[in-house]
């Protein structure tokens, strides 16, 4: 049985977050204050619009900027004050009710983040919105078993917060979070629909405790597993409270429609679950069958369990749009359920 271990939000995009034990969730919204604030780069080419979307490259964030996790944040939501302290002890404070305070603080930010010919500045989103990297995402879920599998595979202890997810759920096996795609599920009083896997970028190379880039994790995953997806995006479809310790219950098929954003990985690149039976690989109807249209190449079949292993198999022929006959090397592979990536 899967269980919610803890929640995490990141009020200031790219900077250290805050752990939560419980939260109230509303339909179509994420955690309160999550990614609500961001620092617009001095090299930004787009201006943020409240409630709108601009590309992540316009913000100061881990993917492009070193040492952000060495900063500390002090945010008083009631008093509308944001304090940001650098690793050298310099502190800047934004009084959200005083525009002059914002201007003075932007001059300090210029000393920290020098890219571009303008002063970096603090920006905020519309209420209940966040500065996410995609137009459809405002809540993400991480399978802690998948995280531990990566720790074991790379012999490297890692804080799961490096993935900057919101809902940290303990499953019994790695990769099974992808079974939730296209499903409706429940945690506490709230209900969710899972619609897209989360592809990871250079942000997860940063150790949140030290602020150092200690492991090119996304690159290593791509090389070793054939993909860099970890965790999923989900949408709140029924409001309610959730708390650490809540069990995850699958309720059935998702009812919503979730078109893929222009800047998100296309479905044909997603890892997908399939059943292997005597060399025949069958994809579930609610998975994306684009892989079954590949005319040549090889696939990687990753085991779903505590032991990490994968097999490489050649595409032999197609039986139908959801079934592939694999090459003779598949005869050595045990029948069962696998996470499939490729074709390569």
Answer whether residue 246 is part of any domain: yes
- The whole-angstrom separation of Cα 197 and Cα 186 is 18
| Structural tokens at position 297 | 């190449």
In this structure, the answer to whether residues 191 and 292 fall within a common structural domain is: no
The CATH number linked to 2 is 2.40.33.20
Give pLDDT tens digits for 26-62. 999 999 999 999 999 988 999 888 888 999 999 999 8
Phi-psi region of 237 (alpha: psi -120 to 50; beta: other; left: phi over 0): alpha
Considering the domain boundaries, does residue 94 fall inside one? no
Is the pLDDT at 287 greater than 60? The verdict is: no
268: tokens are 């044909």
Whether residues 227 and 213 fall in one domain: yes
Instruction: State the pTM of this model.
Output: 0.91
| pLDDT value of position 307 | 65
192 and 141 in one domain?
Answer: yes
Domain, as residue range, for 298: 268-341
Mark whether 190 and 141 lie in a shared domain.
yes
Instruction: Give dist(CA 243, CA 241) in Å, integer.
Output: 7
Same structural domain, 231 and 303: no
The domain boundary, picked from 265, 282, 310, lies at 265
- Is a pLDDT exceeding 70 seen at residue 286? no
* Rounded percentage of the chain residues whose pLDDT exceeds 70: 94
Which residue has better confidence, 340 or 170?
170
Of 217, 245, 265, the one marking the end of a domain is 265
- My answer on whether 223 and 275 are in the same domain is no
Residue 78 belongs to a domain = no
Q: In sequence order, which residues have a C-beta less than 8 Å from that of residue 190 and are 6 or more positions away?
A: 25, 236, 238, 239, 240, 241, 242
Same domain, 210 and 235: yes
Instruction: Name the β-bridge partners of 12.
Output: 37
Length of the chain: 344
Find how far residue 114's CA is from the centre of its chain.
28
Percent of the chain with pLDDT over 90: 53
Res 344 pLDDT > 80:
no
Give tens-digit pLDDT for 94-114: 898 888 887 778 888 888 888
- The answer to whether residues 280 and 143 belong to one domain is no
Of 237, 265, 293, the last residue of a domain is 265
Residues 252 and 275 in one domain: no
Report how far residue 169's alpha carbon sits from residue 180's, in angstroms, rounded to the nearest whole number: 12
Could you tell me if residue 292 is inside a domain?
Answer: yes
Q: Token match 């802690």: residue?
A: 144
Considering its fold, how many domains does the chain have in total? 2
Residues 238 and 280 in one domain: no
Same domain, 19 and 50: yes
Asked if residue 185 and residue 298 are part of one domain, the reply reads no
Asked if residue 51 is part of any domain, the answer here is yes
- 80 within some domain: no
Residue 35: inside a domain, yes or no? yes
Residue 66 reports pLDDT greater than 90: no
Per-residue pLDDT tens for 208-234? 999 999 999 999 998 888 789 999 999
| Cα-based distances in Å from 300 to 109, 142, 197, 224 | 46, 22, 18, 10
List, in sequence order, the alpha helices (H) in the chain: 99-112, 144-154, 217-225
210 lies in some domain: yes
């Amino acid at each position: 049985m899967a269980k919610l271990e803890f929640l995490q939000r990141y009020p200031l995009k790219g900077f250290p977050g805050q752990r939560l034990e419980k939260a109230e969730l509303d339909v179509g919204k994420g955690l309160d204050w999550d990614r609500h604030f961001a620092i617009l780069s001095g090299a930004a080419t787009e201006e943020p619009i409240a409630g709108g979307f601009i590309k992540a490259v316009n913000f100061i964030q881990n993917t492009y900027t070193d040492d952000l996790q060495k900063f500390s944040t002090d945010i008083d939501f009631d008093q509308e004050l944001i304090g940001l302290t650098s690793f050298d002890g310099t502190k800047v404070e934004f009084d959200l009710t005083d525009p002059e305070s914002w201007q003075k603080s932007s001059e300090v930010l210029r000393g920290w983040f020098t890219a571009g010919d303008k002063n970096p500045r603090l920006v905020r989103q519309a209420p209940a919105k966040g500065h996410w990297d995609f137009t459809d995402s405002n809540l993400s879920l991480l399978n802690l078993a998948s995280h531990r599998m990566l720790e074991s595979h790379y012999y490297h202890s890692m804080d799961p917060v490096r993935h900057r997810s919101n809902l940290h759920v303990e499953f019994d096996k790695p990769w099974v979070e992808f079974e939730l795609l296209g499903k409706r599920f429940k945690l506490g009083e709230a209900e969710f629909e899972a619609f897209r896997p989360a592809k990871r970028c250079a942000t997860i190379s940063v150790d949140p405790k030290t602020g150092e880039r200690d492991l090119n994790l996304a690159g290593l995953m791509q090389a070793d597993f054939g993909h860099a997806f970890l965790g999923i995006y989900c949408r709140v479809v029924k409001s309610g409270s959730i708390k650490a310790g809540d069990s995850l219950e699958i309720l059935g098929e998702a009812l919503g429609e979730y078109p893929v954003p222009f800047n998100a990985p296309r479905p044909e690149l997603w890892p997908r679950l399939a059943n292997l039976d005597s060399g025949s690989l069958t994809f579930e109807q609610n998975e994306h069958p684009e892989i079954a249209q590949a005319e040549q190449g090889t696939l990687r079949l990753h085991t779903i369990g505590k032991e990490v292993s994968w097999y490489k198999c050649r595409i032999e022929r197609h039986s139908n749009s959801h079934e592939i006959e694999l090459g003779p090397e598949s005869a050595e592979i045990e029948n069962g359920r696998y996470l499939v990536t490729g074709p390569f």
